[in-house]
C-alpha cells in the first residue's frame, strides 16, 4: 500500500511500564500518522506521555504492543518500498536507521564539555565503533551559522549560555540532513528571544521539506504548528480550540493596566554601579555593566532577557552568592558584601528565600524535612515549632497530604511548590526565584505564579528570573537585561516589538529632557528632529482648528509617544505639544536612530505607521470642530 505523504505510522501503540504492584500505562492505543513536511506540535502537561511518545518514534524504548512503521522518503527511494517496522530492527540496524533518517533534540543539550562547539557539531549521533566525524568543518560552520553561532565556533560549552548550547544541539541534530526531526521541549530552558529563533529555524526547515515533531508544555506555541495534537494521560487527541488567541489578547489588556509602584517605601534592594567581570582562559567577559537599580518592598518583579544577558548573574549579586567586581549592593539597608562569607550565608538564610529551576530538594529527605532544613540551619524556632511551621507552609502550597513523601514520589510541579515552602521557612522578606516555572506544565506554573502573587500581596518582595514574556504581564515591575545592561522600561513599553539589543541602543542614545508645567515642547509648523517618549508626568497635544481656536486633542502619559506622524509621513509638526500641570520628563530618540530602528524592525514600522495614520485621521476630523 502506498503512503506517499506519510513518514511515520503508529498503529494502536501501547506502552506499559511495570513498576511497583500495578503497571503504569504511559501510552494508550495511540494511532497516529506523521506526514512529510509538517510541523507537528504535541502539547500536554508533565507526565502526560509526551517524551514516551517521542521515544517510541525514535526506537529508544520498546513498544508493549502495536506497530510503528517508517515509510521511505527522498530521491531514489520509491514510495512502493515496503515500510520499515521500527520495533523489529536490531540495535545496530536501529542505530543506523536513526543516523540516516532522524535528528533528535533534547531539552538538556547533551554537549561534550571538553570539545569546541565546532567539534561537538561534527560528532556523529551514533558512534557505531567509529569516532570519525560525519561532516567537514565547513559544513559544521554552515550549521552553526544557521543557528547564529558561527562566531563562537571555537569556544567550549562552558563559555556560552544555556540558550546557545541548545542551538548547538540543534545544529548537531542536522548533520545527517535528516528527513525527520524530533524535539523534546527544545525551548524549555530558553528565553523568549532565543525560543523565537529556534521556532523560526524549525519553520525554515519545514519550508525545505523537513518534518518536525516537537513536544512542549507551552501551549502558546500552538499557532506556530501546522498541526497540533494533545496528549492527556497517554491518550492522543485533537485539541478543542480557539480559546488561546482570546487569552493572548487578554494578556495585552492586562499589560496596559499593570499595577503602579508603591510610593514612599524604603527600597528593599539597591544596586549602585554594579559591575561583574569574569576572567577565564577564553579572556575577560563583562557580565554586568554599571547596573543601577532601586526595587521597592512588597513588589512582584520580573527579570527578563535572552540567554547570556546576565539575568542569573544579577540574581547572584542580590543573594550574595557571587561578588560584584565593583559597586554596592544594599538589601534592606545592609551592605551585604561588607560581611564575611559565613556572616552573609547566615544572613541570607534568615532574610532571603531562594527558589531554583531544578528544585534542589535533598532526595533522601521527605518534603516536610526539606522544608524544616533552613530553620535548622539558621537555628530559628524550637524543634516542635519547626515541624508545625513546616506543615503549615506545605498546607499553604497544597502539599499537606504529601508531607511525608520523598521528592521522587511527587510530580515536578509539587516539587517546585515544596521548594517554595522551603524558601519561606524562615519568613524571609525577599524571595528570589531563578526560572521557577521553566520545567513545569502550564497548570503547575499557574499554581506557582498565583502563590507568588499572594506572597507579594502579603508584603513579600518577589524577584523572579524568567524567559516567559507572559509572566511579565502579571508583575508590578519588569527589568529587561541586554548584554549586561538594563533597558529603560519606558522605551520597552513604547516600542515593544524592537529586539532587546535595539531597545538597549535606544536606551543608551535617547536624550533625557525635562519640561516645566505649560512649557512648549513642540510648536505647530516646527521641524521634528526626534521621536518623543513620555517617561514621567503628562503632555497635552493641542491643535488649531479651522476657526483658529486651540482644541485639546489628547493627553499622553508615561510610555506614550509623539512625533511619529511627522517622522513616518513627512512634514512639520501638525500640533502643539505642551507639558501638563505637573510637568513632564521625556526621552528623545534622534531621527537618524529612529529610522535605523524601524528599518530593522518591520513590526515596529507597521505599528507606528498604523498609529500615525490613526492620529492624523483624528487630527483631520477635529479640524472643523468648534
Q: What is the pLDDT of residues 396-436, one digit of tens each?
A: 888 888 888 888 888 877 888 888 888 888 888 888 888 88
Share of the chain above pLDDT 70, in %: 87
Classify 389 as helix, strand or coil: helix
Please choose, from the candidates 426, 417, 429, the residue with its C-alpha nearest in 3D space to the C-alpha of residue 458.
Answer: 429
Q: Is residue 524 one of the residues assigned to a domain?
A: yes
Cell 508590578, residue located? 476
23 forms bridges with which residues in the sheet? Answer: 18
Which one is predicted more confidently, 193 or 382? Answer: 382
Q: Are residues 230 and 119 in the same domain?
A: yes
Q: Are residues 363 and 464 in the same domain?
A: yes
Domain region containing 591 = 496-622
- Which of the four pLDDT bands, split at 50, 70 and 90, describes residue 108? low
Q: Are residues 152 and 81 in the same domain?
A: yes
Please choose, from the candidates 427, 397, 396, 423, the residue with its C-alpha nearest in 3D space to the C-alpha of residue 410.
Answer: 397
Distances (CA, A) of 411 to 306, 392, 429: 28, 20, 28
Cα dihedral 528, 530, 531, 534 sign:
negative
Q: Are residues 469 and 351 in the same domain?
A: yes
CATH of the domain at 475: 3.40.50.300
Q: Are residues 203 and 57 in the same domain?
A: yes
CATH of the domain at 600: 2.60.120.10
Q: What is the model's pLDDT at position 74?
A: 56
Q: Are residues 305 and 359 in the same domain?
A: yes
Q: Exposure string (b/e) for 20-59, b if CB count within 10 Å is 16 or more? A: eeeeebbbbebebbbebbbbbbbbbbbebbbbbbbbbbbb
d(CA 342, CA 377) in angstroms, rounded, equals 12
Average pLDDT over residues 183-191: 76
Of 454, 487, 520, the position where a domain reaches its end is: 487
Q: Is residue 247 one of the residues assigned to a domain?
A: no
Note whether 182 and 8 are within 8 A (CB). no
- Which of the four pLDDT bands, split at 50, 70 and 90, describes residue 22? low
Q: Is residue 219 one of the residues assigned to a domain?
A: yes
Q: Are residues 433 and 404 in the same domain?
A: yes
Rounded CA Rg of the chain:
28
Q: Are strands 211-216 and 39-43 parallel, antiparallel or unpaired?
A: parallel
Q: What is the model's pLDDT at position 579?
A: 92
Q: Is residue 393 one of the residues assigned to a domain?
A: yes
- Which of the four pLDDT bands, split at 50, 70 and 90, describes residue 109? low
Of 436, 464, 487, the position where a domain reaches its end is: 487
What's the pTM?
0.56
Q: Tell whether the model's pLDDT for residue 590 goes beyond 90.
A: yes
Q: Tell whether the model's pLDDT for residue 561 goes beyond 60.
A: yes
Q: Is residue 537 one of the residues assigned to a domain?
A: yes
- Which of the four pLDDT bands, split at 50, 70 and 90, describes residue 73? low
Q: What is the model's pLDDT at position 1?
A: 44
Give the Cβ contact number of residue 181 at 10 Å. Answer: 22
d(CA 420, CA 432) in angstroms, rounded, equals 10
Q: Are residues 477 and 513 in the same domain?
A: no
Q: Are residues 284 and 402 in the same domain?
A: yes
Q: Determine the length of the chain.
A: 626
Q: Are residues 479 and 509 in the same domain?
A: no
Q: Are residues 225 and 283 in the same domain?
A: no
Around 133, how many Cα atoms within 13 Å sit in the side-chain half-sphere? 14
pLDDT, tens digit, 9 for 90 and up, residues 305-348: 887 788 888 888 888 888 889 998 888 888 888 888 888 888 88
Average pLDDT, the chain: 81
Q: Tell whether the model's pLDDT for residue 255 goes beyond 60.
A: no
Average pLDDT over residues 105-119: 78
Of 212, 241, 270, the position where a domain reaches its end is: 241
Q: Are residues 32 and 124 in the same domain?
A: yes
- Which of the four pLDDT bands, split at 50, 70 and 90, describes residue 254? very low
Q: What is the model's pLDDT at position 516?
A: 93
Q: Is residue 246 one of the residues assigned to a domain?
A: no
Q: Is residue 517 one of the residues assigned to a domain?
A: yes
As for how many domains the chain has, the answer is 3
Q: What is the model's pLDDT at position 373?
A: 85
- Which of the four pLDDT bands, split at 50, 70 and 90, describes residue 245? very low
Q: What is the model's pLDDT at position 248?
A: 34
Q: What is the model's pLDDT at position 578?
A: 92
Which one is predicted more confidently, 275 or 257? Answer: 275
d(CA 9, CA 3) in angstroms, rounded, equals 10
Q: Is residue 248 one of the residues assigned to a domain?
A: no
d(CA 11, CA 1) in angstroms, rounded, equals 15
Amino acid at each position: 500500500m502506498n503512503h506517499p505523504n506519510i513518514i511515520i505510522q503508529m498503529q494502536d501503540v501501547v506502552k506499559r511500564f511495570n513498576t511497583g504492584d500495578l503497571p503504569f500505562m504511559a501510552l494508550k492505543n495511540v494511532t497516529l500518522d506523521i506526514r512529510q513536511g509538517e510541523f507537528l506540535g504535541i502539547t500536554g502537561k508533565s507526565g502526560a506521555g509526551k517524551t514516551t511518545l517521542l521515544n517510541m518514534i525514535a526506537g529508544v524504548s520498546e513498544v508493549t504492543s502495536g506497530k510503528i512503521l517508517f515509510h521511505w522518503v527522498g530521491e531514489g527511494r520509491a514510495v512502493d518500498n515496503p515500510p520499515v517496522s521500527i520495533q523489529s530492527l536490531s540495535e545496530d540496524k536501529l542505530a543506523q536507521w536513526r543516523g540516516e533518517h532522524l535528528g533528535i533534540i533534547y531539552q538538556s543539550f547533551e554537549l561534550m564539555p571538553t570539545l569546541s562547539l565546532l567539534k561537538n557539531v561534527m560528532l556523529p549521533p551514533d558512534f557505531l565503533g567509529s569516532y570519525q566525524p560525519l561532516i567537514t568543518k565547513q559544513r559544521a560552520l554552515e550549521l552553526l551559522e544557521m543557528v547564529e553561532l558561527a562566531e563562537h565556533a571555537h569556544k567550549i560549552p562552558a563559555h556560552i549560555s544555556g540558550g546557545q548550547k541548545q542551538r548547538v544541539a540543534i545544529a548537531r541534530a542536522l548533520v545527517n540532513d535528516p528527513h525527520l526531526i524530533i524535539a523534546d521541549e527544545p525551548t524549555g530552558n530558553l528565553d523568549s528571544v532565543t525560543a523565537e529563533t529556534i521556532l523560526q529555524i524549525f519553520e525554515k526547515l519545514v519550508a525545505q521539506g523537513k518534518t518536525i515533531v516537537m513536544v512542549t508544555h507551552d501551549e502558546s506555541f500552538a499557532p506556530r504548528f501546522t498541526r497540533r495534537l494533545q496528549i492527556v494521560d497517554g491518550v492522543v487527541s485533537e485539541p478543542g480550540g480557539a480559546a488561546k488567541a482570546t487569552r493572548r489578547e487578554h494578556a495585552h489588556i492586562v499589560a496596559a493596566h499593570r499595577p503602579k509602584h508603591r510610593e514612599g517605601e524604603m527600597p528593599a534592594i539597591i544596586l549602585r554601579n554594579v559591575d561583574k567581570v569574569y576572567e577565564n582562559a577564553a579572556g575577560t567577559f563583562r557580565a554586568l555593566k554599571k547596573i543601577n537599580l532601586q526595587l521597592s518592598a512588597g513588589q512582584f518583579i520580573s527579570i527578563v532577557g535572552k540567554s547570556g544577558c546576565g539575568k542569573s548573574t544579577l540574581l547572584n549579586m542580590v543573594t550574595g552568592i557571587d561578588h560584584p567586581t565593583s559597586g554596592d549592593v544594599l538589601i534592606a539597608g545592609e551592605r551585604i558584601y561588607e560581611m564575611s562569607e559565613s556572616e552573609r550565608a547566615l544572613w541570607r538564610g534568615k532574610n532571603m528565600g531562594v527558589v531554583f529551576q531544578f528544585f534542589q530538594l535533598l532526595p533522601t529527605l521527605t518534603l516536610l524535612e526539606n522544608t524544616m532544613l533552613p530553620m535548622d540551619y539558621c537555628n530559628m524556632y524550637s524543634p516542635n515549632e519547626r515541624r508545625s511551621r513546616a506543615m503549615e507552609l506545605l498546607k499553604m502550597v497544597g502539599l499537606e497530604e504529601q508531607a511525608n513523601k520523598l521528592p521522587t514520589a511527587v510530580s515536578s510541579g509539587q516539587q517546585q511548590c515544596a521548594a517554595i515552602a522551603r524558601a519561606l521557612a524562615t519568613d524571609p522578606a525577599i524571595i528570589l526565584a531563578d526560572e521557577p516555572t521553566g520545567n513545569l506544565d502550564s497548570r503547575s506554573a499557574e499554581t506557582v505564579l498565583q502563590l507568588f502573587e499572594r506572597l507579594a500581596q502579603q508584603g513579600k518582595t518577589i524577584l523572579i528570573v524568567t524567559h516567559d514574556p507572559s509572566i511579565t504581564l502579571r508583575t508590578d515591575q519588569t527589568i529587561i537585561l541586554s548584554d549586561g545592561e538594563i533597558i529603560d522600561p519606558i522605551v520597552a513599553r513604547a516600542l515593544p516589538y524592537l529586539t532587546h539589543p535595539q531597545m538597549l541602543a535606544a536606551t543608551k542614545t535617547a536624550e533625557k529632557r525635562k519640561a516645566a508645567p505649560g512649557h512648549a515642547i513642540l510648536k505647530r509648523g516646527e521641524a521634528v528632529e526626534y521621536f518623543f517618549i513620555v517617561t514621567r508626568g503628562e503632555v497635552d497635544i493641542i491643535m488649531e482648528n479651522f476657526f483658529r481656536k486651540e482644541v485639546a486633542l489628547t493627553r499622553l502619559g508615561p510610555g506614550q509617544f509623539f512625533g511619529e506622524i511627522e517622522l513616518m509621513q513627512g512634514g512639520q509638526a501638525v500640533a502643539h505639544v505642551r507639558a501638563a500641570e505637573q510637568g513632564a520628563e521625556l526621552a528623545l530618540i534622534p531621527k537618524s536612530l529612529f529610522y535605523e530602528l524601524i528599518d530593522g524592525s518591520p513590526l515596529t514600522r507597521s505599528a507606528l505607521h498604523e498609529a500615525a495614520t490613526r492620529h492624523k485621521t483624528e487630527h483631520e476630523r477635529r479640524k472643523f470642530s468648534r
